[in-house]
A and B are shown apart, each in its own frame.
Chain A
Amino acid sequence: MKKWILIICVSCLLAVGCSEKTFKPRDIVNETDVCKVCNMSIVHNEYAGQIALKNGDYEMFDDIGCLIEYIAANGDEEVGAAFIKDAKENKWIDVSKATFVYNKDYWTPMNYGVLAFETQEAAQSWMTTEGKGQVLTYEDLSDFNWGIHQ
């Protein structure tokens, strides 16, 4: 009997140890959260981003541009997952799977003009409503000229 219990325990431990760690976004705390890159306090939650590091820490960002700048400067080896707020639904979505829309007239906290959407349809719908915009993928963001555009 003891032998069986031991086998079950070891199997459980192995199963837990081998399973892939999942990373979840955490809620924004307006009182204390500041952007890791630009130091602005996060007050416009609908544009915020965050990175869940593999060590369990979180880095918060006020704008997708700051999040991309952080990854560019520090690499993604320690990044467990990165999230950005869906501009329409105000919910966390995976940055790497998001569709982005850019227009210089879209206001964001850093005025980079890039918004994130969960699906291509949502992005397209946004552009149709606004009458302007340009679709970008996650890969496009690494080469994007972050800054204000006249």
Chain B
Amino acid sequence: MKKIGCVLLFLLCISSTAYAKFDIQEAIDRAEPGAVINIPAGYYKGNLIVTKNITLRGEKGTEIAAVGEKPAIRIEGADAVMIDNMTLSGKKGIVASEVEGLALRQLKINDVHSAVHIQHGENVHIQHVEIVGTQAHYSKKGNGIAIYQSEKIVVEDSNIKHVQDGIYVEEVDGIVVQRNTVENSRYGTHFMYTENAKALNNTYASNVTGLMVMMTSGITIKDNVVIHHNDMNGSGALLYDVQRADLAFNTMKNNRTAIALQKSAEVQIMHNHFQMNQTAIEGTKVDDQTVVENNQFTGNILTARSDQQGYRLSSNYYDDYVGTDLKNNGTGDVPYVAVSSFGQWMVQQPVYQYFVASPSVVLLTSLDQQINKSARTVLVDETPKLMKDQSVKKVDMDIAQFLLGLFFILSSVWLWKRGLME
């Protein structure tokens, strides 16, 4: 009995939280501009306020927990502040306003409602931030990294999950979002009223929508992997009221709709891989400068659907193309027709998506492709590509292996014959 008591007492002692004694706020208040404050490892509770140019650097095991509704760290009207190498928890992580040259590095922000909120920032650099939200529906959560009315922003090498929007960007001029991973959230990255944005080499997985781009002009979306967005209202990327967008070299796989375009103009979709999506590209109210060119479509149920305006398909590879290439120039002899009556209906009534793979719909789509071959209509690729690298590979023969195999075969035949003779 005593032993059990001792064990329980020991467990109680090691599980209790040890609060560190270093007074961070006092150190901040006393610090000269440009100072570096090293925060010893330990668990700190409080709501820090930074209003001058300093660096807060933690050690392994430094954690600051916010108290109440206020953030763990508030930065106001300060230039060149750096927050480095620590864990933050509580309802809000970092809130910064009127800042220039802010750097947030090597941070872990756990179980927060909203992790990083920046308003009126310039030259902000966020890198290596790990954010994990709470386990609740996304309507009950805040955003991972939210940036408002700012310019010249970089968000990179960060991992975010279980929040509302992983990276929310509103009214920002000049932002690069690269090498981040966002999972299990509402939107991976959400751009609104933004100009000159780049989303490069990110991975978006299992969100409602990977990339939500709204009322934005001048955006490059390149080399991203966008997978598993197959919620009823989900899309790999949704562009609403967007002007001048380039989507290139992205892998869009297993999404309900890989790319959805609405009210958008001058969108270039090139060199992307669309694999196993329910619908690869959907467009409504898209201008005639929008081009889908040199992409690969494999294993998608519907390649393209649109309203009457359509958009231009050119030189794409389609795995369901059944034409020939008698000229052997890598381009099909007859056009590829992506028109699908059912696809057009699905644009009007999204609930029809649940019948998309039914036998009658498959038959209807096949009929569409046969009937519309000669018709001049929307969603027709006049120059569909065929896979060029399908030529027979030169077989490398291993002579020794061949001779050994031949020896065993001849030996087997000889033994078999000998057995028959006896």
Contacts and interface: CB of A to CB of B under 8 A. Distances in A.
B139 A111 contact: no
Interface string B34-58: 0000000000000000000000000
A39 B240 contact: yes
Contacts of B170: 111
Interface stretch (B1-9, B122-130, B208-216): B208-216
A43 B240 contact: no
B193 A111 contact: yes
Contacts of B215: 147-148
B232 A41 contact: no
Interface of B: prevailing SS: mixed
B49 to A, nearest CB: 24
Nearest to A32: B232
Interface in A12-43: 30-32, 34, 38-43
Contacts of A39: 233, 238, 240, 260, 262
B192 interface: yes
Interface residues of A, number: 14
B171 A43 contact: no
Given A30-B139, A41-B186, A41-B208, A148 B193 contact: yes
A45 B214 CA distance: 20
Nearest to B148: A107
A45 B262 CA distance: 24
Contacts of B60: none
B137 A148 contact: no
Interface in A55-90: none
B321 interface: no
Nearest to A45: B139
A38 B238 CA distance: 10
Contacts of B214: 38, 40
B77 to A, nearest CB: 19
Interface residues of B, number: 20
B249 interface: no
B345 interface: no
A112 to B, nearest CB: 11
B81 to A, nearest CB: 25
Nearest to A38: B240
Nearest to B214: A38
Nearest to A30: B139
Contacts of A40: 212, 214
B184 interface: no
Nearest to B240: A38
Contact of A43 (B164, B233, B238): B164
A41 B170 CA distance: 17
Contacts of B186: 41, 43
Choose among B186, B215, B233 the residue with the greatest number of A CB atoms under 10 Å from its CB.
B233
A111 B192 contact: yes
A32 B192 contact: no
Nearest to B192: A111
A31 B238 contact: no
Interface in B160-199: 164, 170-171, 186, 192-193
B192 A43 contact: no
Interface in B238-279: 238, 240-241, 260, 262
Nearest to B232: A32
Contact of B233 (A41, A111, A147, A148): A41
Contacts of A42: 139
A32 B138 contact: no
A38 B193 CA distance: 14
A19 B240 CA distance: 42
4 interchain residue pairs of minimum CB distance: A30-B139, A43-B139, A34-B233, A148-B193
Interface of A: 30-32, 34, 38-43, 45, 111, 147-148
Given A30-B137, A30-B139, A39-B262, 15 more contacts: A32-B232, A32-B233, A34-B233, A38-B240, A38-B241, A38-B262, A39-B240, A40-B212, A40-B214, A41-B208, A42-B139, A43-B138, A43-B164, A111-B171, A111-B192
